[in-house]
Amino acid sequence: MRRIGTVVVRYRFAVTAVWLVLVVASVTVLCALPRALQPPDITVGGSASSAASDLIARRFPDIGRQQVMLAFTSSALPATDPAYQRTTQAVTTAMAADPQVGAVMPVPRVKGQDSRHTYVMLGIRGDTHTARRALPDLDERARRVAHDRSRGAVSVALVGLDPVLARMARATTQDVRSAETFAVPAAALLLAVGLGSLGAAALVLLLAGSAIALALGVLTVTGLSQGVDATAVTVVATVGLGVGLDYGLLLTLRHRSRRSAGLPPGRAAVEAAATAGATVALAGTAVVATATGLLLTDIGSLRTLAFAAVLAASAATLAALTLMPALLATCDRLLAWGPMPWARPGRRRRKPGPTAWERWTAHLLRHPVRYATAATALLLLAAAPVAGLRTAVHFDRSVLAGTPTGGGLARMEADRIASVTLVALPHPVGAGPVDTEPLSTALAADHRVAAVTTLDNGRDLTLLLVGEGQAPDTAAAHALQQHLREDLLPELLPGGQAVGPAGPSAALHDLSTQAGGRIWRVLAVICCATFVLTFLVFRSVLVPLKAIVMNLLCVAAAFGLLAVTTPVLGYPAVNPLLPLITLTLVFGLSMDYEVFLVHRIAEHYRTHGDNPAAVLHGLRRTAVPISLAAGVLVVTLTGLLTTHRQDLRQIGFAVMTAVVLDATVVRMVLAPALMRLMGRANWWLPAWCGRLLPHRAGEARLPAQQHRAGDTAGTPARATEPPRV
């Protein structure tokens, strides 16, 4: 880090110019981002619904991988009116003329259907990405033809899983833009208050903004061909802003401390890069390592979000290690520009004796058992309601309300033609259609089923179309999928018959199952990655274990409080993907604060060999960075609570709660109390591990890890100088 800092400061103008070019290029590329935005890919690779969709697309190409519904309505005309029928005919003809549209199938009327409503199902040809790009144009063309043909008397909406997700994705983008409009000024104000000047806050914001611009530019370039997940943009903006502000803040504070010690700007920037830069590199690596845990799932959207989080953390780390030292060395005078009234020279004098913070910290270290017990009890109490946390896939009706897609979905639910499940039944060539009579009869008798239709391609595939009376995100649709897969299909089809359910309800069912079944695997990988990283960094066995246990307590407490507040946030259940996303973000951010604190403690302990003094020193030196960084992140996440999307509000609340608990209860109370209690055992390392791990140049061995001839492992060395507390 020192060598990197030296090179960056020496060529600071060239480094700044390179970043300027990168940011300008990224902003230029971002002009194409709105056109490239796509709804999240909820396909589960290798699932029954995905395999069935592939099979249908190959053997029934006119039905395609996905199906959408044209939902016609009129406020004055019944569906039997000639003008109404001419309008539906004109729209279906326009749709059939599009090369992306295969089958055009009018839906038979069902009992209780509104006389002013008519539905036509469209099969969309091509792969998922091609179909998604075609849907907005089809929707616009259908509405335009219906309006022109009927002179506004008949309207139509394109309804389906992807149109609904696309509408919610657009709402997400708009909400995040509005949230950032509030969050950035609030974060700037908090930074200015914490750092004491507007100039210092501006530099930190410049770093975070550059990292976000670079990450979004790369995300746009990589997604131009296949589309950019709108949720990934949210992850890049949130993670990039939070982590970028944290890292910029840490480097700025370390640079200012070196400047106050008398070093010139260039030398102070190098020292900041050599010390705080190492902490930033470790913290950024921790965020990347935890985010990669999402790659273990087969859910396309989670893989995309993992890539977005890695991209944002990497860009923020790169900016902190290169751009920030260059800016600090070049714009050192800017740090004092616009000082806060209380931070002006001569206005703030330190009173003799220890501060209130130092007195409280000393009291904590004198009574570590009491504080550790109280902190653990508080976290366990907050985590108690986590058993009541319920997960369910749901469409955000508040976002869909007032939109053509939302209106069409509401009409379909009212008419009990809300979704279609396709059951693919392959058979040998020439063997004839599969006998589906018993299955069709049983399904028709189910009150959740509106209609059943059987198709056959005349060669090798029989297709059963099951019209559902409820939307695919409802509990009734989930229960019907379970009943269909576990009871009806095995019992009512010929023995040995291969079967595959497809459609929106089947896809959401597989999504929920996959998310619930993978959370423990993702958690195990995140814990292993956390242990390996902190073990290699701090060369200790107990420090990584302590960090994992505290992070688990913090996550459990956040989920427990989320379980209590979900009804207030708009929906009594959470999206099944939310625990995975929140777990990854919280573990990554918690590791930031863990590295901030323990790295300072280890630095002091390596020099003096006094564990209580090292813990006190670490708390004194990191209290302001951790508190200010957490405050900025909380302000940033608070913006998500003002959005219309229920999922965003839930994620914002969960991560914000975890950050507050981590920065206060865990880092300021539980972690130092435990490190005080464990003493030299904090740095215990088996002898064989000490021999395997290389000794880093310029780094002193921790006294508890030094081995002398004839001494047992763990014998402390004499401190090189008296402890300084």
Distance CA 464, CA 444 (A): 12
Q: Are strands 118-124 and 101-106 parallel, antiparallel or unpaired?
A: antiparallel
Residue 459 covered by a domain:
yes
Q: Higher confidence at residue 152 or residue 355? A: 152
What's the CATH number where 65 sits?
A: 3.30.70.1430
Q: Does 606 share its domain with 656?
A: yes
Q: Does 189 share its domain with 318?
A: yes
Task: Based on DSSP, count helices (H) and strands (E) in the chain, helices before strands.
Answer: 26, 10
pLDDT of residue 614: 85
Q: What is the pLDDT of residues 462-489, one digit of tens each?
A: 999 999 999 998 889 999 999 999 999 9
Q: Higher confidence at residue 592 or residue 468? A: 468
Q: Does 535 share its domain with 423?
A: no
Helix extents (H) in 37-160: 48-59, 82-96, 128-150
Distance CA 269, CA 278 (A): 13
Q: What is the pLDDT of residues 657-683, one digit of tens each?
A: 998 998 889 988 998 899 888 888 888
pLDDT of residue 711: 37
Q: At what angle do helices 265-291 and 504-538 cross, to 10 degrees?
A: 130
Indicate whether 352 pLDDT > 70.
no
Percent of the chain whose predicted confidence (pLDDT) is above 90:
34
Q: Does 325 share its domain with 188?
A: yes
C-alpha neighbours within 13 Å on the C-beta side of residue 693: 22
pLDDT of residue 346: 55
Q: Higher confidence at residue 122 or residue 343? A: 122
Q: What is the pLDDT of residues 304-326, one digit of tens each?
A: 888 999 999 999 999 999 999 99
Residue 339: helix, strand or coil by DSSP? strand
Q: Does 331 share its domain with 197?
A: yes
pLDDT of residue 347: 56
Last residue of a domain, one of 486, 508, 530: 508
Number of domains in the chain: 4
Q: What is the pLDDT of residues 268-304, one digit of tens each?
A: 999 999 888 888 888 888 888 888 888 878 888 888 8
Neighbours of 12 (CB within 10 A): 21
Q: Does 215 share its domain with 300?
A: yes
Q: What is the DSSP string of 443-502?
A: HHTSTTEEEEEEEE-SSSEEEEEEEESS-TTSHHHHHHHHHIIIIIHHHHS-TT---EEE
Q: Does 21 share its domain with 74?
A: no
Q: Higher confidence at residue 210 or residue 583? A: 210
pLDDT of residue 691: 67
Q: Residue 431 belongs to what domain range?
A: 400-508
> Tokens in use for 554?
């913090």
Q: What is the pLDDT of residues 53-107, one digit of tens each?
A: 999 999 999 998 889 999 999 998 999 999 999 999 999 999 999 999 999 999 9
Residue 43 covered by a domain:
no
Last residue of a domain, one of 138, 165, 192: 165
Angle at the Cα of 246 from the Cα atoms of 608 and 701, rounded to 5 degrees: 25
Q: Which residue has the tokens 């144009």?
A: 137
717 CB-near residues (< 8 Å, 6+ apart) = 609, 703, 706, 708
What's the CATH number where 616 sits?
A: 1.20.1640.10
Element (H, E) at 206: helix 198-223
Distance CA 324, CA 305 (A): 27
Q: Higher confidence at residue 122 or residue 643? A: 122
pLDDT of residue 720: 37
Q: How confident is the model at residue 582 (pLDDT cuts 50, 70, 90)?
A: confident
| Average pLDDT of the chain to the nearest whole number | 85
Distance of alpha carbon 610 from the chain centroid: 40
Average pLDDT over residues 373-401: 88
pTM of the model: 0.83
Residue 585 covered by a domain:
yes
Q: Does 522 share its domain with 496?
A: no
Backbone phi and psi for residue 40, each to the nearest 5 degrees, phi listed first: -65, 145
pLDDT of residue 84: 95
Strand pairing partners for 105?
121
Indicate whether 633 pLDDT > 90.
no
Q: Does 103 share its domain with 244?
A: no
Average pLDDT over residues 427-455: 89
pLDDT of residue 576: 86
What's the CATH number where 438 sits?
A: 3.30.70
Strand pairing partners for 44?
299
Residue 261: helix, strand or coil by DSSP? coil
Indicate whether 713 pLDDT > 80.
no
Indicate whether 725 pLDDT > 50.
no
pLDDT of residue 94: 94
Q: Higher confidence at residue 429 or residue 705? A: 429
Last residue of a domain, one of 508, 525, 557: 508
pLDDT of residue 712: 36
Average pLDDT over residues 328-334: 89
Q: How confident is the model at residue 408 (pLDDT cuts 50, 70, 90)?
A: very high
Distance CA 538, CA 536 (A): 6
Residue 197 covered by a domain:
yes
Residue 126 covered by a domain:
yes
Indicate whether 719 pLDDT > 70.
no
Residue 70 covered by a domain:
yes
Residue 691 covered by a domain:
no
Q: Does 663 share its domain with 631?
A: yes
Helix extents (H) in 321-468: 324-330, 356-366, 368-383, 397-400, 404-414, 437-444
Q: How confident is the model at residue 349 (pLDDT cuts 50, 70, 90)?
A: low
Q: How confident is the model at residue 369 (pLDDT cuts 50, 70, 90)?
A: very high
Residue 353 covered by a domain:
no
Indicate whether 351 pLDDT > 70.
no
pLDDT of residue 374: 93
Q: Does 525 share its domain with 663?
A: yes
Q: Does 530 share its domain with 405?
A: no
Burial class (CB in 10 A: 0-12, 13-18, 19+), 724: exposed
Indicate whether 715 pLDDT > 60.
no
pLDDT of residue 185: 84
Distance CA 301, CA 168 (A): 14
Indicate whether 139 pLDDT > 70.
yes
Average pLDDT over residues 490-506: 89
